[in-house]
Amino acid sequence: MSEKREHFSSRLGFILAAAGSAVGIGNLVGFPVSATKNGGGAFLLVYALFVIFICLPVMMAEMAMGRKAQKDPLGSYKLLAGNDPKWNFAGFLAVLTPFMIAVFYMVITVWIFGYLSQTALGNLDALAQPDNFGTFINSYTVFGYMAVVAIIVNLILVGGVKEGIEKAAKFMMPALFVLLTALVVYVLTLDNAMAGVKYYIVPDFSKMDASVLNGALAQAFFSLSLGMGILMTYASYISKKDDIVGSAKMVAVTDSLVAFIAGLMVLPAIFSFNPNTDPSTLSDSSVSMIFVYLPKILLALQADIGYFGASVVAFVFFLLVFFAAITSLVSIVEVPTATLSDRKGISRKKALAILTLSTGVLTVLCTMSFGMVESLTSFVNYGGADKSLFDIVYDVFYDTILPLNGLMVCLFVMYRWKKANLSEELSQGCEGYIGSFTEKYVNFSLSTFIPAILLLIFVNTVATKFFAFSIFGF
């Protein structure tokens, strides 16, 4: 199987594809707002430290497993564990997680595409109306947008690793950087923009507490696509000559840089719209910010550049977010696609057909759980509130399971696969890794405090989400 396996044509292709999986909707809006509300520069510093000292070792471990096995996450666990059945659950969960995450991410990507289409048609004024979002997500036109997004994702994935994923990443990631830079340059010229920059960058350590630290770590872990099986799958498409250690660092830097630069776009725009903005009142929800708050800000630009100019800026913004969403969605869907192809020995086209049907049904049901169908909207009650089907998918598979998957990776590479094998794999393409400080730190951290931290995050998330109780008291 490994001889026939596709590979990225270059290290750059792998890095861009992996970075595309990491750079998502949360980077562009959720991260900047969270940073502003929780200490500005102080939050940014803590976030960077978490990425370097906690997330990078886990990222390297996932990549090492994928490249060594040259298989999907389920196949990687089975092969490296010597078919030890105790680890089958970890492999199964590493595939089920992206399968379910693809469902809720598809819903949000469809909304983004809908707003992108409406800005292209000159309907920015309608998007800025307070009740527009609620009306839009409960209109049947959303299913038309869903069909288009599904076609785009399938066209990319059916092309395979080189002709599909890599080509898309090589176009979309540079385009994303260009669009983001252009918007930042424009926004920083607006009146009162520097007030937003000040709130975003100037450190305020008085706001740093246990809850903020927990949020920063969770944001760093989720942002880098850890625990989703994506990095394991993508790493199975690279050669032994590629430097996993260096590539992991590049992906982390790219992801963090996009998130930081996005803050120079979002916060100055908000403060230009309302110089008296109280950062503490801003929503942490990327969905709320993108679809409810930001259209108002974009429409307000017509006072300076006219309605057409404001519509162009809005179109560029939603195109930027759409590129980020698509690159992430493609990487998420690739995990179960690779698993089906590897496990069942079927073609990529057949695997995609099966996934399109199965995830499509769930996506339609989740899309209908915002008011279209009452039984789906009030699907179950936990944590003291009614939850929709969409809420369940998000709470269980995105908020809760990811740190558990990360914990399993740490335990597996340290206590089943063993440190020596991890170090040997990471040394391939990285001369001087054996005996280096990096090797010693990776082995120490993955076997001690990183698993402990991930276990605490998992347990606290379960307690908070499903029982409305925090073990940390916040």
The domains of the chain, with CATH numbers, are 2-369 (1.10.4160.10)
At residue 251, φ and ψ (nearest 5 deg) are: -65, -45
Sign of CA dihedral 142, 145, 375, 461: negative
Q: Is the pTM of this model over 0.75?
A: yes
DSSP alpha helix (H) spans, 202-301: 210-223, 230-235, 244-273, 286-288, 294-300
Output the pLDDT for position 92.
95
Q: Has residue 25 got a pLDDT over 90?
A: no
297, amino acid identity: I
Enter the DSSP assignment of 470. -
Rg (alpha carbons) of the chain, rounded to whole number = 22
Instruction: Please state, in angstroms and rounded to a whole number, the distance separating the CA atoms of residues 39 and 202.
Output: 8
> Is the pLDDT confidence value at 464 over 90?
no
For residue 332, pLDDT over 70 is answered with yes
pLDDT of 215 > 90? The answer is no
List residues bridging with 386 in a β-sheet.
381
pLDDT at position 224 is 86
Sorting pLDDT into bands at 50, 70 and 90, what band is 472? Answer: low
- The pLDDT-based confidence of 223 (bands split at 50, 70, 90) is confident
Q: How much is the mean pLDDT over the chain?
A: 92
| Calpha distance 25→318 (Å, rounded) | 11
Q: Is the pLDDT of residue 248 over 90?
A: yes
137-165 tens-digit pLDDT: 999 999 999 999 999 999 999 999 999 99
Alpha carbon separation from 61 to 17, 179, 249, 390, 441 (Å, rounded): 18, 33, 13, 31, 13
Closest CA to 474 of 213, 280, 285: 213
φ, ψ of residue 386 to 5 degrees: the values are -70, 140
Render pLDDT for 26-84 as a digit per residue (tens, 0 to 9).
Answer: 888 888 888 888 888 989 999 999 999 999 999 999 999 999 999 999 999 999 999 78
* pLDDT above 70: residue 1: no
SS3 per-residue string spanning 128-167: CCCCHHHHHHCCCHHHHHHHHHHHHHHHHHHCHHHHHHHH
**pLDDT digits over 262-282, tens only?**
999 999 999 998 888 888 888
- For residues 422 and 430, the answer to whether their CB atoms sit within 8 Å is no
Q: Is the Cβ–Cβ distance between 87 and 78 less than 8 Å? A: yes
The 10s digit of each residue's pLDDT in 382-422 is 988 999 999 999 999 988 899 999 999 999 999 999 999 99
The per-residue pLDDT for range 11-22, each reduced to its tens digit, is: 999 999 999 998
Closest CA to 28 of 323, 278, 300: 323
Q: Tell me: pLDDT of 3 over 50.
A: no
Confidence grade of residue 473 (pLDDT, cut at 50, 70, 90): low
Q: State the Cα–Cα distance between residues 169 and 185, nearest whole angstrom.
A: 24
Q: DSSP for 335-389? A: HHHHHHHHHH---HHHHHHHHHHHHHHHHHHHHGGGTTSHHHHT-EEETTEEE-H
Closest among 95, 64, 119, 66 to 343, alpha carbons compared: 95
d(CA 464, CA 474): 9
Model confidence at 110, in pLDDT bands (50, 70, 90)?
very high
